[in-house]
Amino acid sequence: MNILVTGATGFIGSHLVRRLLKLGHTLFIITRPHSDLSRINDILDNLIQVSSDPTLGAIHELFQKNAIDGVIHLATYYRKEDSKEEEKNMLETNIDFPYRLLIIAQQYGSTFFINTGTCFEYSPSLVSINEHSLIQPFNYYASTKFKFEDKLIESLQDSNLKALTLKLFFPYGEQDNNKLVRLLVESLIKKNEFHVTKGEQYLSYTYVHDIVDAYILALSHIKNMRSSYDIFNIGGTPIKVSNIFDTLEEISNKKGFIVRDKEYAKNEIMRMYTESEKAKKVLGWNQKFNLTEGLRKTYNYYLQY
């Protein structure tokens, strides 16, 4: 298939385009002048780049000249803490841009749009979160993701295009951004102290290769989907965050560098997990990498590179 992928230069996107190439798909990716291509430098010759501009003129031209079967949308602008200065960027990247892209895809006859959501759209819960759980965005970022999903659903009326959203729970793995697992791994490799909480949070950490599996399965599913829209939570087996600390100390054979003395943040999420029952039943998705396997692969990657 001819697939347009947004966010191909990012953490999950860079893993996904590698898998899609191996499966024989023709991939078009959107880049900007400031895009960091380091994650995909070695496969750039196998990807067809199109530059994003304010008018999306080049993207219109891409759809005119190529039969684009569909879009996989991973591009996002993330900030954990709310900031008035960042709201404009988040609105543009997380709502306006994908909506304009969606309209173009519909205009030129694309048949599917796979969207990426976040677990932070849900309200934290003492029980497993499913696709019908309470929506209560944790921050402005999560709010923009949910608002785009609303626009996506609305746009499907009187349209032949089908869409679904994968709501991801705590991705980690090789070439991640500066999030907890990567920071822990780097501190252990460099033998630097890294201060954390006691790790009593109960969360669904999910290794990136398992997340990529979900996109591949979604790509197969969406072609035969009866409804015009669906949602799937994608999350690994729930674990206590302290298990990450213990496991990395064991893998690295280094103790004393992860210092568990930080206070929890006022808005700390203590429980947010899913059993991904719907994804297992409908998509056939299963977690292939447990926490130890995923952390070992991640640690060895950073140890080498």
CA-based radius of gyration for the chain: 19
Does residue 47 form part of some domain? yes
Q: Give the per-residue pLDDT at 55.
A: 79
Residue 35, pLDDT above cutoff 90: no
Query: For residue 279, is it within any domain?
Result: no
3-state helix, strand, coil in the chain (%, to 5): 45, 20, 40
At 225-279, the pLDDT tens digits run: 999 999 999 999 999 999 999 999 999 999 999 999 999 999 999 999 999 999 9
| Co-location of 103 and 148 in the same domain | yes
- The CATH number given to whatever domain includes residue 254 is 3.90.25.10
Q: What are the CA-CA distances from residue 303 to residues 131, 175, 185, 252 (Å)?
A: 37, 12, 9, 10
Total number of domains constituting the chain? 2
CA–CA separation, 164 vs 126, rounded Å?
26
SS3 244: helix
> Which of the four pLDDT bands, split at 50, 70 and 90, describes residue 106?
very high
How sure is the predictor about 82, in pLDDT bands with cuts at 50, 70 and 90?
A: low
pLDDT reported for residue 56: 87
pLDDT-derived band at 101, boundaries 50, 70, 90? very high
Identify whether residues 78 and 88 lie together within a single domain: yes
Residue 19 has pLDDT above 80, yes or no: yes
Beta bridge partners of 168: 118, 234
Is residue 186 domain-shared with residue 46, that is, in the same domain?
no
In total, the chain counts a number of residues equal to 305
Task: Indicate whether 112 and 156 sit together in one domain.
Answer: yes
Q: Are residues 125 and 177 in the same domain?
A: no
pLDDT of amino acid 198: 98
Structural domain that includes position 183: 173-204+237-274+288-304
**0.85 exceeded by the pTM?**
yes
Mark whether 230 and 200 lie in a shared domain: no
Does residue 280 fall inside a structural domain?
no
Residue 283 lies in a domain: no
222 and 255 in a common domain: no
- Say if residue 68 is in the same domain as residue 211: yes
- pLDDT (0 to 100) of residue 280: 98
